[in-house]
Structure 1
Protein backbone atom coordinates (compact mmCIF):
# COMPACT_ATOMS: atom_id res chain seq x y z
CA UNK A 1 0.00 0.00 0.00
CA UNK A 2 1.30 3.47 -0.91
CA UNK A 3 1.52 6.22 1.64
CA UNK A 4 0.28 9.66 0.54
CA UNK A 5 3.16 11.32 2.39
CA UNK A 6 5.56 9.82 -0.14
CA UNK A 7 4.05 11.95 -2.94
CA UNK A 8 4.55 15.37 -1.33
CA UNK A 9 6.57 17.85 -3.27
CA UNK A 10 9.74 19.22 -1.65
CA UNK A 11 8.81 22.67 -2.96
CA UNK A 12 6.97 25.07 -0.66
CA UNK A 13 4.30 27.51 -1.68
CA UNK A 14 5.62 30.86 -2.82
CA UNK A 15 5.21 33.75 -0.42
CA UNK A 16 3.75 36.87 -1.99
CA UNK A 17 5.09 39.90 -0.12
CA UNK A 18 2.68 42.25 -1.90
CA UNK A 19 -0.35 42.33 0.34
CA UNK A 20 -3.07 44.93 0.63
CA UNK A 21 -1.43 46.66 3.60
CA UNK A 22 2.15 46.36 2.33
CA UNK A 23 3.21 49.97 1.80
CA UNK A 24 6.49 51.17 0.44
CA UNK A 25 8.71 52.51 3.27
CA UNK A 26 9.26 55.77 1.41
CA UNK A 27 5.49 56.24 1.16
CA UNK A 28 5.20 55.79 4.94
CA UNK A 29 7.98 58.36 5.43
CA UNK A 30 6.15 60.79 3.16
CA UNK A 31 2.93 60.29 5.11
CA UNK A 32 4.70 61.10 8.36
CA UNK A 33 6.33 64.15 6.77
CA UNK A 34 2.91 65.28 5.53
CA UNK A 35 1.47 64.99 9.03
CA UNK A 36 4.31 67.05 10.48
CA UNK A 37 4.14 69.68 7.74
CA UNK A 38 0.39 69.98 8.11
CA UNK A 39 0.60 70.40 11.88
CA UNK A 40 3.20 73.17 11.54
CA UNK A 41 1.95 75.08 8.53
CA UNK A 42 -1.64 73.97 8.06
CA UNK A 43 -1.01 72.58 4.60
CA UNK A 44 1.35 70.49 2.48
CA UNK A 45 2.80 71.73 -0.80
CA UNK A 46 5.11 69.97 -3.23
CA UNK A 47 7.77 72.54 -2.39
CA UNK A 48 7.54 71.50 1.28
CA UNK A 49 7.97 67.84 0.36
CA UNK A 50 11.00 68.68 -1.78
CA UNK A 51 12.43 70.52 1.22
CA UNK A 52 11.79 67.42 3.34
CA UNK A 53 14.04 65.39 1.02
CA UNK A 54 11.60 63.79 -1.42
CA UNK A 55 12.19 63.77 -5.17
CA UNK A 56 9.64 64.77 -7.80
CA UNK A 57 9.40 61.12 -8.86
CA UNK A 58 8.59 60.05 -5.29
CA UNK A 59 6.03 62.81 -4.94
CA UNK A 60 4.36 61.77 -8.21
CA UNK A 61 4.37 58.10 -7.22
CA UNK A 62 3.48 58.24 -3.52
CA UNK A 63 1.68 61.51 -2.79
CA UNK A 64 -1.88 60.19 -3.08
CA UNK A 65 -1.23 57.05 -1.05
CA UNK A 66 0.82 59.00 1.51
CA UNK A 67 -1.95 61.58 1.88
CA UNK A 68 -4.43 58.80 2.60
CA UNK A 69 -2.07 57.22 5.13
CA UNK A 70 -1.50 60.60 6.79
CA UNK A 71 -5.24 61.24 6.98
CA UNK A 72 -5.97 57.79 8.41
CA UNK A 73 -3.22 58.21 11.01
CA UNK A 74 -4.38 61.71 11.95
CA UNK A 75 -8.11 61.23 12.20
CA UNK A 76 -9.43 59.34 15.15
CA UNK A 77 -12.45 57.32 14.13
CA UNK A 78 -14.93 56.97 16.97
CA UNK A 79 -17.86 54.69 17.13
CA UNK A 80 -20.21 55.02 19.98
CA UNK A 81 -21.73 51.99 21.55
CA UNK A 82 -25.47 51.83 22.10
CA UNK A 83 -26.71 53.02 25.48
CA UNK A 84 -27.42 50.35 28.07
CA UNK A 85 -30.21 50.63 30.62
CA UNK A 86 -27.85 52.20 33.18
CA UNK A 87 -26.77 54.78 30.57
CA UNK A 88 -30.38 55.62 29.73
CA UNK A 89 -31.17 56.14 33.42
CA UNK A 90 -28.10 58.33 33.93
CA UNK A 91 -28.85 60.46 30.87
CA UNK A 92 -32.50 60.87 31.91
CA UNK A 93 -31.50 61.88 35.46
CA UNK A 94 -29.10 64.57 34.22
CA UNK A 95 -30.45 65.41 30.77
CA UNK A 96 -28.38 67.30 28.22
CA UNK A 97 -29.96 68.25 24.88
CA UNK A 98 -26.96 67.08 22.87
CA UNK A 99 -26.72 63.65 24.58
CA UNK A 100 -29.98 61.76 24.09
CA UNK A 101 -30.14 58.15 25.24
CA UNK A 102 -29.93 55.96 22.16
CA UNK A 103 -30.20 52.22 22.79
CA UNK A 104 -29.40 49.58 20.17
CA UNK A 105 -31.43 49.73 16.94
CA UNK A 106 -32.36 53.39 17.47
CA UNK A 107 -32.05 55.68 14.50
CA UNK A 108 -31.42 59.29 15.49
CA UNK A 109 -34.21 61.31 13.89
CA UNK A 110 -35.41 64.89 14.10
CA UNK A 111 -38.59 63.87 15.91
CA UNK A 112 -36.60 61.90 18.46
CA UNK A 113 -34.24 64.83 19.09
CA UNK A 114 -37.14 67.26 19.44
CA UNK A 115 -38.85 64.98 21.97
CA UNK A 116 -35.60 64.71 23.97
CA UNK A 117 -35.03 68.47 23.79
CA UNK A 118 -38.56 69.13 25.04
CA UNK A 119 -37.93 66.85 28.03
CA UNK A 120 -34.59 68.59 28.73
CA UNK A 121 -36.30 72.00 28.66
CA UNK A 122 -39.05 70.88 31.00
CA UNK A 123 -36.50 69.34 33.35
CA UNK A 124 -34.49 72.58 33.45
CA UNK A 125 -37.69 74.55 34.13
CA UNK A 126 -38.51 72.21 37.01
CA UNK A 127 -35.11 72.81 38.58
CA UNK A 128 -35.61 76.59 38.35
CA UNK A 129 -39.22 76.65 39.53
CA UNK A 130 -40.38 73.40 41.13
CA UNK A 131 -44.14 72.96 41.21
CA UNK A 132 -46.33 69.87 40.93
CA UNK A 133 -47.65 70.56 37.42
CA UNK A 134 -44.14 70.94 36.03
CA UNK A 135 -43.03 67.73 37.75
CA UNK A 136 -45.87 65.80 36.11
CA UNK A 137 -45.09 67.44 32.78
CA UNK A 138 -41.46 66.25 33.02
CA UNK A 139 -42.55 62.68 33.68
CA UNK A 140 -45.06 62.81 30.85
CA UNK A 141 -42.48 64.13 28.36
CA UNK A 142 -39.94 61.53 29.44
CA UNK A 143 -42.56 58.84 28.98
CA UNK A 144 -43.30 60.13 25.46
CA UNK A 145 -39.61 60.01 24.61
CA UNK A 146 -39.13 56.52 26.04
CA UNK A 147 -42.15 55.26 24.09
CA UNK A 148 -40.28 56.14 20.89
CA UNK A 149 -37.32 53.94 21.85
CA UNK A 150 -37.12 50.23 21.07
CA UNK A 151 -36.92 49.11 24.71
CA UNK A 152 -39.08 46.77 26.76
CA UNK A 153 -41.95 48.23 28.81
CA UNK A 154 -40.33 46.93 32.01
CA UNK A 155 -37.19 48.90 31.17
CA UNK A 156 -39.30 52.01 30.52
CA UNK A 157 -40.86 51.62 33.95
CA UNK A 158 -37.41 51.18 35.52
CA UNK A 159 -36.18 54.41 33.92
CA UNK A 160 -39.34 56.28 34.90
CA UNK A 161 -39.09 55.11 38.52
CA UNK A 162 -35.37 55.98 38.75
CA UNK A 163 -35.95 59.46 37.33
CA UNK A 164 -39.04 60.06 39.47
CA UNK A 165 -36.94 59.41 42.57
CA UNK A 166 -34.49 62.18 41.58
CA UNK A 167 -37.09 64.84 40.73
CA UNK A 168 -37.72 67.45 43.41
CA UNK A 169 -40.60 66.55 45.69
CA UNK A 170 -43.16 69.35 45.60
CA UNK A 171 -46.30 69.86 47.66
CA UNK A 172 -49.62 69.88 45.87
Structure 2
Protein backbone atom coordinates (compact mmCIF):
# COMPACT_ATOMS: atom_id res chain seq x y z
CA UNK A 1 0.00 0.00 0.00
CA UNK A 2 1.29 3.46 -0.89
CA UNK A 3 1.93 5.96 1.86
CA UNK A 4 0.67 9.33 0.51
CA UNK A 5 2.02 11.32 3.46
CA UNK A 6 5.65 10.48 2.84
CA UNK A 7 7.65 12.83 0.59
CA UNK A 8 8.58 11.51 -2.80
CA UNK A 9 12.02 10.07 -3.28
CA UNK A 10 12.08 11.69 -6.70
CA UNK A 11 14.04 14.89 -6.97
CA UNK A 12 13.90 17.49 -9.67
CA UNK A 13 17.05 17.91 -11.68
CA UNK A 14 18.95 21.06 -10.82
CA UNK A 15 19.60 23.28 -13.79
CA UNK A 16 23.38 23.60 -13.94
CA UNK A 17 23.08 26.24 -16.69
CA UNK A 18 21.11 28.62 -14.40
CA UNK A 19 23.53 30.95 -12.57
CA UNK A 20 23.13 31.42 -8.80
CA UNK A 21 20.50 34.03 -7.96
CA UNK A 22 18.96 34.05 -11.43
CA UNK A 23 15.23 33.47 -11.84
CA UNK A 24 14.02 30.37 -13.62
CA UNK A 25 12.59 31.15 -17.08
CA UNK A 26 9.29 29.38 -16.28
CA UNK A 27 8.97 31.54 -13.16
CA UNK A 28 9.41 34.68 -15.27
CA UNK A 29 6.86 33.33 -17.74
CA UNK A 30 4.44 32.61 -14.90
CA UNK A 31 4.89 36.15 -13.54
CA UNK A 32 3.96 37.61 -16.93
CA UNK A 33 1.00 35.25 -17.21
CA UNK A 34 -0.16 36.28 -13.72
CA UNK A 35 -0.07 39.94 -14.77
CA UNK A 36 -2.03 39.22 -17.96
CA UNK A 37 -4.63 37.06 -16.23
CA UNK A 38 -5.08 39.56 -13.41
CA UNK A 39 -5.49 42.44 -15.86
CA UNK A 40 -8.08 40.48 -17.85
CA UNK A 41 -10.16 39.17 -14.98
CA UNK A 42 -9.12 40.81 -11.74
CA UNK A 43 -7.95 37.59 -10.14
CA UNK A 44 -5.98 34.43 -10.81
CA UNK A 45 -6.86 30.91 -9.74
CA UNK A 46 -4.58 27.88 -9.98
CA UNK A 47 -6.82 26.38 -12.67
CA UNK A 48 -6.22 29.56 -14.73
CA UNK A 49 -2.50 28.84 -14.61
CA UNK A 50 -3.09 25.21 -15.56
CA UNK A 51 -5.17 26.47 -18.47
CA UNK A 52 -2.25 28.69 -19.47
CA UNK A 53 0.02 25.64 -19.73
CA UNK A 54 1.68 25.41 -16.32
CA UNK A 55 1.91 22.11 -14.47
CA UNK A 56 0.86 21.75 -10.84
CA UNK A 57 4.51 21.15 -9.96
CA UNK A 58 5.50 24.46 -11.59
CA UNK A 59 2.65 26.28 -9.86
CA UNK A 60 3.72 24.94 -6.47
CA UNK A 61 7.38 25.68 -7.09
CA UNK A 62 7.10 29.16 -8.63
CA UNK A 63 3.81 30.69 -7.40
CA UNK A 64 5.28 32.77 -4.57
CA UNK A 65 8.24 34.10 -6.52
CA UNK A 66 6.15 34.66 -9.67
CA UNK A 67 3.53 36.56 -7.63
CA UNK A 68 6.23 38.76 -6.15
CA UNK A 69 7.75 39.45 -9.58
CA UNK A 70 4.33 40.19 -11.10
CA UNK A 71 3.53 42.66 -8.33
CA UNK A 72 6.92 44.38 -8.60
CA UNK A 73 6.66 44.78 -12.36
CA UNK A 74 3.08 46.03 -12.12
CA UNK A 75 3.80 48.71 -9.56
CA UNK A 76 5.11 52.04 -10.76
CA UNK A 77 6.45 54.78 -8.60
CA UNK A 78 4.87 57.99 -9.80
CA UNK A 79 6.18 61.32 -8.73
CA UNK A 80 5.01 64.63 -10.03
CA UNK A 81 7.87 66.59 -11.46
CA UNK A 82 7.95 70.34 -10.98
CA UNK A 83 6.73 72.45 -13.88
CA UNK A 84 9.36 73.78 -16.25
CA UNK A 85 9.01 77.13 -17.99
CA UNK A 86 7.33 75.52 -21.01
CA UNK A 87 4.82 73.86 -18.66
CA UNK A 88 4.09 77.15 -16.92
CA UNK A 89 3.49 78.86 -20.28
CA UNK A 90 1.24 76.06 -21.51
CA UNK A 91 -0.81 75.99 -18.31
CA UNK A 92 -1.17 79.78 -18.37
CA UNK A 93 -2.32 79.65 -22.00
CA UNK A 94 -4.93 77.00 -21.19
CA UNK A 95 -6.02 78.61 -17.88
CA UNK A 96 -7.61 75.51 -16.34
CA UNK A 97 -8.51 76.17 -12.66
CA UNK A 98 -7.34 72.80 -11.30
CA UNK A 99 -4.01 72.80 -13.22
CA UNK A 100 -1.85 75.34 -11.42
CA UNK A 101 1.68 75.93 -12.66
CA UNK A 102 3.89 74.74 -9.80
CA UNK A 103 7.64 75.08 -10.40
CA UNK A 104 10.32 73.56 -8.17
CA UNK A 105 10.11 74.42 -4.46
CA UNK A 106 6.44 75.40 -4.74
CA UNK A 107 3.72 73.88 -2.60
CA UNK A 108 0.11 74.32 -3.61
CA UNK A 109 -1.49 76.52 -0.99
CA UNK A 110 -4.95 78.01 -0.71
CA UNK A 111 -3.55 81.46 -1.53
CA UNK A 112 -1.93 80.13 -4.72
CA UNK A 113 -5.11 78.31 -5.69
CA UNK A 114 -7.19 81.47 -5.18
CA UNK A 115 -4.71 83.61 -7.15
CA UNK A 116 -4.73 81.07 -9.99
CA UNK A 117 -8.54 80.94 -9.90
CA UNK A 118 -8.67 84.74 -10.29
CA UNK A 119 -6.46 84.50 -13.37
CA UNK A 120 -8.58 81.72 -14.86
CA UNK A 121 -11.75 83.77 -14.25
CA UNK A 122 -10.16 86.84 -15.86
CA UNK A 123 -9.04 84.77 -18.84
CA UNK A 124 -12.53 83.31 -19.23
CA UNK A 125 -14.11 86.76 -18.99
CA UNK A 126 -11.76 88.04 -21.70
CA UNK A 127 -12.83 85.23 -24.03
CA UNK A 128 -16.52 85.96 -23.41
CA UNK A 129 -16.26 89.76 -23.57
CA UNK A 130 -13.00 90.92 -25.19
CA UNK A 131 -12.23 94.56 -24.48
CA UNK A 132 -8.93 96.35 -23.71
CA UNK A 133 -9.47 96.69 -19.95
CA UNK A 134 -10.25 92.99 -19.59
CA UNK A 135 -7.10 92.05 -21.54
CA UNK A 136 -4.99 94.26 -19.27
CA UNK A 137 -6.68 92.77 -16.18
CA UNK A 138 -5.75 89.27 -17.40
CA UNK A 139 -2.07 90.19 -17.62
CA UNK A 140 -2.10 91.94 -14.22
CA UNK A 141 -3.79 88.98 -12.48
CA UNK A 142 -1.39 86.48 -14.11
CA UNK A 143 1.52 88.69 -13.07
CA UNK A 144 0.25 88.67 -9.48
CA UNK A 145 0.13 84.86 -9.56
CA UNK A 146 3.64 84.60 -11.01
CA UNK A 147 4.93 86.99 -8.32
CA UNK A 148 4.01 84.35 -5.73
CA UNK A 149 6.16 81.70 -7.42
CA UNK A 150 9.87 81.19 -6.74
CA UNK A 151 10.93 81.96 -10.32
CA UNK A 152 13.47 84.38 -11.75
CA UNK A 153 12.23 87.72 -13.11
CA UNK A 154 13.42 86.79 -16.61
CA UNK A 155 11.28 83.64 -16.56
CA UNK A 156 8.33 85.65 -15.24
CA UNK A 157 8.71 88.15 -18.12
CA UNK A 158 9.05 85.36 -20.68
CA UNK A 159 5.89 83.63 -19.41
CA UNK A 160 3.93 86.91 -19.47
CA UNK A 161 5.14 87.68 -23.02
CA UNK A 162 4.30 84.17 -24.27
CA UNK A 163 0.82 84.28 -22.75
CA UNK A 164 0.18 87.84 -23.93
CA UNK A 165 0.80 86.69 -27.52
CA UNK A 166 -2.11 84.24 -27.23
CA UNK A 167 -4.61 86.63 -25.69
CA UNK A 168 -7.26 87.94 -28.09
CA UNK A 169 -6.32 91.23 -29.69
CA UNK A 170 -8.86 93.94 -28.97
CA UNK A 171 -9.28 97.31 -30.62
CA UNK A 172 -8.90 100.44 -28.49
TM-score bracket relative to the smaller structure: 0.5 to 0.7
Give how far 1:60 is off: 5.3
Q: Secondary structure at the match of 1:87?
A: helix
Alignment partner, residue 4 of structure 1: none
Superposition deviation, residue 97 in structure 1:
3.3
Match of 2:20 in 1: 17
Ranges in structure 2 where 5+ consecutive residues have no aligned partner: 1-18
1:25-44 aligned at under 5 Å gives the runs 25-44=25-44
Q: How far is the alpha carbon of 1:127 from its aligned partner? A: 0.8
Which residue in the other structure is 1:94 paired with? 94
Q: Which TM-score applies when normalising by structure 2? A: 0.67
Q: How does 1:1-172 map to 2 (within 5 A)?
A: 17-18=20-21, 22-52=22-52, 53-55=54-56, 58-59=58-59, 62-74=62-74, 81-171=81-171
Q: Deviation string for 1:62-113 (max 9, x for gaps)? A: 4344234224434565555433323322332233334432323333445434
Distance in 1, Cα, partners of 2:144 & 2:154: 15
Using structure 1 for the length normalisation, give the TM-score.
0.67
Alignment partners' CA distance in 1, 2:156 and 2:70:
45
Alignment partner of 1:151: what SS? Answer: coil
Give me the whole-angstrom Cα distance separating, in 1, the residues matched to 2:114 and 2:28. Answer: 46
Which runs of no fewer than 5 residues in structure 1 stay unpaired? 1-15
Aligned CA-pair RMSD: 3.0
